[in-house]
Amino acid sequence: MRRPSRTEALMPVLSANKAQEEQINTSYEPLTPSVITDEKAQSYIEALNFACSRPDIRNIAVTGPYGAGKSSVLLTWERAEDNDFRVMTVSLADFEMQRAYPGDSLSVEGKPDYDDNEKKAGKAEEKTIEYSILQQLLYKEKKSVLPYSRLERISDVSACQIAMMTASLLFILASTATGLLFLFPDYIREKLSLSPELSQFLLELPVLARFGSAGIFLFTALFFALKKLHRTGVFDRRVSIDKVDILKGAITTRPAAPSLLNVYIDEIVYFFEQTQYNVVIFEDLDRHNDGAIFIKLREINQLINNCLPTDNPVRFIYAVRDNLFITPESRTKFFDFVIPVIPVMDSENASEHFLSKFTLDELRQEGFKDCLARLALFIPDMRVMHNIANEFRLYRNIVNNGGDLKRLISLITYKNLYAEDYHRIDQKKGMLYSIVSEYT
């Protein structure tokens, strides 16, 4: 009887491990916006297509609370088959983070004395937002697409481009030398060590032919030279943005400095003329609570469309929360069309969404389903729910394989909802540590 080879003996084990690995990998979910596949997507697509097909609608709002799925709606519309618009997205996220103030001086009352810093930050915040918008707009395309832009860009020069520049330079020099040769035959012949017969031939030409030929060659050389200089911005007031500052996200502002969006309006208009983008999506702009930016963007949209054909205007789509404006009149006055996004998850169906992220074997564990239903009521949005499920899957496979799932999911949920208090457990501090220590 033939004994199975080592490879054949290991095949069932390898197949089982591969199937388990695939199951683990497919159970994770990304936290990024996703394409909506159910029937609700078509309603949003039709509404956005209607708004973008009307030339009089140029400022569109996609409204909903945080985590409602506004980005997913816009992504679904952008990738729809019948979408012929060229779309770009500007994201201006402002995240709430824990900030430490080590070494800060204390005031007389014992509180950190960083009020002055907060005031300075408030004055510069508007400039910083405008700066971020400019970065994402004007640095969207390569230098070759915007050859006459006055903003400096680092670009890789290929061998073909070097050859073309060399040929252009040689052509300009040759045209200049030929033109001067027609004007001053003896002088140029002597400097370039040319044949005496050539200067004699040129001197015998009619004066009109000599000066006419010289004018043609010199005009050609001057034309190409000025064209090259114009493309490098020599004749414009050079606009330079420090690339180190771009990477740091820093900007130096002055109290009387004008709006950056107004200063670079010609660059913005030139960008849309060259790139043919006709839809710009602004995300998370409302997190900054700066209404002046919305007003400036609306003015920018008007200025852009004044310079473009009326039948193909540029439209701005703002993904914002519902209560951005205080009164309904100001909301409908600012936006030309409003599309509300119905949240995918609410208190009624939160447990249903949460239960769908776990396997049948996990749900069969005693009390686990009821635990999930109670925890789901505290989860604020779908993105947080995805992250809790991802962490649960990872912790279970690495640390707690076969342990009490109720304790694991409860601790991971608390870790996501109250991260600061959770990380104080290592220091034997915090509310959770105090409660647990009293009952143990």
- Tell me the CA distances in angstroms from 185 to 75, 171, 172, 401, one per residue in order: 69, 20, 19, 94
In this predicted structure, what is the pLDDT of residue 260?
Answer: 66
- Rounded to the nearest 10 degrees, how much is the dihedral formed by the CA atoms of 250, 255, 256, 262? 40
Query: What is the C-alpha separation between 213 and 27, in angstroms, rounded?
Result: 77
Q: Is the pLDDT of residue 147 over 90?
A: no
If pLDDT is split at 50, 70 and 90, which confidence band does 105 have? very low
Q: Is the pLDDT of residue 123 over 60?
A: no
In this predicted structure, what is the pLDDT of residue 96?
Answer: 52
| pLDDT tens profile 72-93 | 999 999 998 888 899 999 887 6
The domain ranges of the chain are: 40-151+240-340, 159-231, 346-438
Encode burial over 267-288: b for 16+ CB neighbours within 10 A, e otherwise.
Answer: bbbbbbeeeebbbbbbbbbbeb
Q: Is the pLDDT of residue 97 over 80?
A: no
84 Cβ contact partners less than 8 Å away, ≥ 6 residues apart: none
Q: Is the pLDDT of residue 1 over 60?
A: no
Query: Mean pLDDT over residues 288-316, rounded?
Result: 84
| pLDDT tens profile 107-122 | 434 444 545 555 555 5
Return the H-helix or E-strand segment holding 88. Answer: strand 87-91
In this predicted structure, what is the pLDDT of residue 269?
Answer: 85
In this predicted structure, what is the pLDDT of residue 435?
Answer: 86
Query: What is the C-alpha separation between 433 and 440, in angstroms, rounded?
Result: 11
- Residue 33: DSSP 8-state: -
Tokens of 120: 């300075």
- Tell me the CA distances in angstroms from 137 to 154, 279, 315, 367, 375, one per residue in order: 16, 12, 14, 52, 42
Q: Which CATH number fits domain 40-151+240-340: 1.10.1420, 3.40.50, 3.30.420, 3.30.70?
A: 3.40.50
Query: What is the C-alpha separation between 205 and 185, in angstroms, rounded?
Result: 11
Q: How many CB atoms lie within 10 A of CB 139?
A: 15
Question: For the chain, what is the mean pLDDT?
Answer: 78
First-to-last CA distance in the chain? 62
33 forms beta bridges with none
What residue ranges in 273-391 does DSSP mark as E strands? Answer: 279-283, 315-320, 337-340
If pLDDT is split at 50, 70 and 90, which confidence band does 250 have? very low
State percent of the chain over pLDDT 90. 20
48-54, long-range: CB within 8 Å, 24+ apart, which pairs?
Answer: 48/74, 48/77, 48/317, 48/339, 49/77, 49/82, 49/83, 50/337, 51/315, 51/336, 51/337, 51/339, 52/85, 52/279, 52/315, 54/337
The answer, as to whether pTM is greater than 0.75, is no
| pLDDT tens profile 383-433 | 999 999 999 999 888 886 667 899 999 999 999 999 999 998 888 888 888
If pLDDT is split at 50, 70 and 90, which confidence band does 333 have? confident
Determine contact, residues 418/432, Cβ cutoff 8 Å. Answer: yes
In this predicted structure, what is the pLDDT of residue 258?
Answer: 56
- Residue 378: DSSP 8-state: T
